[in-house]
C-alpha cells in the first residue's frame, strides 16, 4: 500500500474517532427523561515517562542479532471523552540502534529519533467490561504520527582509523587482502557513532509517517496520580531508518512506564459559599442581615433599629407603625394597639386572663363544659399563720385564709389609689393563686 493511501486511511480513522467522541459527549450532556441532566466533567492528564526501544529492520536481520536496547523518553497529554473512549497527543524521543557481524556483512547504526503523534485510547474500565476507575485498568491505543530520524554508524575508532573486518572475526586498520595487510594494526570498536550514513544512490528523506499500536494498563494511586505501563509498536512508512533498504519497512518497540497527573477543578467548599450567602441574606429587606435581625419578618417600608426591630418611640412595647397612641406616658399600661388602659379595663383584662388560664388548666384535668363554666369551687379553708403565701396575706382582709373575688377587687382599687405595694405582676399572681387555692 502506498504511503499516501496509508496517510489517507489514518486521516479518515481519526476523523471518525473525533465524530464519535463529539456525538457521544453531546448526547450524554443532553437531558432526557431517562438520563441525568448533568455528567461529571473529565479533565485532561499529563504524563512523562521513560522506557527502552528495540529496533527491527534490515541491519541485524542476517545473523538475527536484532536491535540493541536504547533509551527513550515519552511525554503525553490525554483527554477522556466517554467512559470507554479518549485521545492522546504524545511525543517519543530517544535512540534506535542495531548491529550485525558476520563473514559477509558487518554493519551497525544508531539514530536519534523523534516521533510525534496522536492516539485513540480504548479503556476497559468503562463500567461494562470492568468497574469504572479500577485501580488496575487495561487500555489499548492506535494512532498516527510523524517521525524524524538520522542514522549514524560506528565506522572508525577513536584514532580515526577505519574498521576492516577480517575472516577470523578481528578488526584491522587495513583490508585482509591488501598488500600492507601484514603491517596492519589490530583495532577494537569504540561504539562511538561518528559517521553520518547515506545511500550512494538515493538521497532519502530523514522523516516519515508511522502508525503506533499499543497496549498497557493504568495503575491508579489516587484520583489524580498514577502510572501507565505500556508497550507501543511503531510501524513506519520508510525502510531507511538503519540506512539499508532491503525488504519491508522498518519497525521498532517502545516499552516503558509513565507517571501521570490528572487535573481537577478545585471548587470552594459548598459550606463556605453557603456561609457567605447566609451572612448577607436579608429576607425582610429591612437592611439588617437575618443573622443579626432580632425581629425577622418586618413589613416592607417600616423603619427599624440596628437590631432589625421596628422603632418604638414611646417605649410602650408597641412599634410605631402599629401604635395608635404614639406618645404614651412612660410606665402606662397599654393594649395591643398602644392605647393606655384605664382602671376598669385593666381589672377586666386581669380577671379575664387569669380566669381563662385557670379554666384551661382545669379543663386539661377534667375536660368538660361544666368545668369551664364553674370556675374554682373547690376552695378548702385553711388555718395557721402561713396558710396564705406571705406576699398575698395583705389581700386576706378577713383573715380567713381564703382569697375571695371581692378581696381581689379591693386590691385592684388599692393599686390605682396607690395604697400598698401592689403592682400589675403581683396582682396577676394573686389572681392565679385565687384559682389555685
Question: Tell me: the pLDDT tens digits for 334-386?
Answer: 788 878 877 777 777 776 666 555 555 544 554 444 444 444 444 445 566 67
Distance in angstroms (rounded) separating the CA atoms of residues 242 and 238? 10
CATH code of the domain containing 150? 2.40.160.20
- Is the separation of the CB atoms in 78 and 44 below 8 Å? yes
* Residue after which a domain boundary falls, among 262, 288, 322: 262
Q: 382 vs 7, which has greater pLDDT? A: 382
251 and 356: one domain? no
Residue 273 has pLDDT above 80, yes or no: no
Q: 206 vs 388, which has greater pLDDT? A: 206
Question: Tell me: the pLDDT tens digits for 89-100?
Answer: 999 999 999 998
Distance in angstroms (rounded) separating the CA atoms of residues 117 and 397? 110
The pTM assigned to this predicted structure is: 0.55
Residue 392 has pLDDT above 80, yes or no: yes
Query: How many residues does this entry show for the chain?
Result: 437
231 and 377: one domain? no
Residue 81 has pLDDT above 80, yes or no: yes
* Residue after which a domain boundary falls, among 262, 288, 317: 262
- Domain limits for position 388: 342-437
128 and 222: one domain? yes
Window from 152-156, 160-164, 192-196, 419-423 with minimum mean pLDDT? 419-423
Q: 117 vs 397, which has greater pLDDT? A: 117
Residue 434 has pLDDT above 50, yes or no: yes
15 and 130: one domain? yes
Q: Give percent above pLDDT 90 in the chain.
A: 41
C-alpha cell of residue 19: 465524530
* Residue after which a domain boundary falls, among 218, 240, 262: 262
Give the chain's domain count. 2
- Residue 356's pLDDT is what? 57
Classify burial at 421, counting beta carbons within 10 Å of its beta carbon; exposed 0-12, middle 13-18, buried 19 or more.
Answer: exposed
Average pLDDT, the chain: 81
Nearest to 210 by CA among 121, 148, 152: 148
50 and 197: one domain? yes
Amino acid at each position: 500500500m502506498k504511503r499516501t493511501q496509508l496517510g489517507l486511511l489514518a486521516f479518515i480513522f481519526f476523523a471518525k474517532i473525533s465524530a464519535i467522541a463529539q456525538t457521544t459527549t453531546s448526547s450524554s450532556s443532553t437531558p432526557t427523561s431517562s438520563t441525568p441532566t448533568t455528567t461529571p466533567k473529565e479533565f485532561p492528564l499529563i504524563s512523562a515517562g521513560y522506557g527502552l526501544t528495540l529496533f527491527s529492520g534490515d541491519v541485524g536481520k542476517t545473523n538475527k542479532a536484532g536491535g540493541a536496547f536504547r533509551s527513550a523518553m515519552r511525554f503525553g497529554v490525554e483527554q477522556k471523552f466517554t467512559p470507554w473512549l479518549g485521545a492522546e497527543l504524545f511525543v517519543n524521543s530517544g535512540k534506535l540502534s542495531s548491529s550485525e557481524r558476520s563473514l559477509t556483512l558487518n554493519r551497525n547504526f544508531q539514530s536519534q529519533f523523534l516521533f510525534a503523534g496522536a492516539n485513540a485510547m480504548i479503556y476497559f474500565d468503562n463500567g461494562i467490561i470492568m468497574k469504572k476507575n479500577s485501580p488496575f485498568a487495561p487500555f489499548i491505543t492506535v494512532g498516527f504520527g510523524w517521525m524524524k530520524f538520522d542514522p549514524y554508524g560506528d565506522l572508525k575508532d577513536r584514532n580515526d582509523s577505519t574498521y576492516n573486518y577480517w575472516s577470523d572475526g578481528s578488526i584491522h586498520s587495513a583490508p585482509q587482502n591488501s598488500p600492507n595487510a601484514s603491517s596492519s594494526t589490530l583495532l577494537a570498536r569504540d561504539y562511538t557513532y561518528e559517521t553520518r550514513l547515506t545511500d550512494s544512490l538515493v538521497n532519502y528523506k530523514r522523516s516519515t509517517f508511522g502508525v503506533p499500536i499499543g497496549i498497557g494498563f493504568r495503575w491508579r494511586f489516587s484520583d489524580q496520580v498514577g502510572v501507565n505501563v505500556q508497550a507501543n509498536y511503531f510501524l513506519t512508512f520508510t525502510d531507511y531508518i538503519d540506512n539499508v533498504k532491503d525488504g519491508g519497512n522498518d519497525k521498532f518497540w517502545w516499552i516503558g512506564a509513565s507517571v501521570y497527573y490528572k487535573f481537577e477543578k478545585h471548587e470552594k467548599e459548598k459550606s463556605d459559599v453557603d456561609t457567605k450567602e447566609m451572612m448577607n441574606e436579608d429576607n425582610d429587606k429591612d437592611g439588617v442581615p437575618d443573622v443579626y435581625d432580632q425581629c425577622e419578618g418586618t413589613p416592607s417600608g417600616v423603619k427599624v433599629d440596628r437590631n432589625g426591630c421596628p422603632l418604638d418611640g414611646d417605649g410602650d412595647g408597641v412599634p410605631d407603625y402599629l401604635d395608635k397612641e404614639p406618645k404614651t406616658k412612660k410606665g402606662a399600661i397599654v393594649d395591643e394597639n398602644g392605647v393606655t388602659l384605664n382602671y376598669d379595663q385593666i381589672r377586666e383584662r386581669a380577671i379575664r386572663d387569669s380566669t381563662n388560664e385557670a379554666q384551661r388548666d382545669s379543663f386539661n384535668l377534667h375536660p368538660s363544659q361544666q368545668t369551664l363554666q364553674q370556675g374554682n369551687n373547690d376552695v378548702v379553708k385553711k388555718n395557721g399563720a402561713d396558710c396564705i403565701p406571705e406576699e398575698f396575706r395583705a389581700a386576706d382582709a378577713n383573715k380567713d385564709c381564703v382569697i375571695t373575688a371581692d378581696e381581689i377587687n379591693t386590691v385592684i382599687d388599692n393599686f390605682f389609689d396607690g395604697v400598698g405595694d401592689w403592682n400589675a405582676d403581683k396582682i396577676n399572681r394573686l389572681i392565679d393563686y385565687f384559682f389555685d387555692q
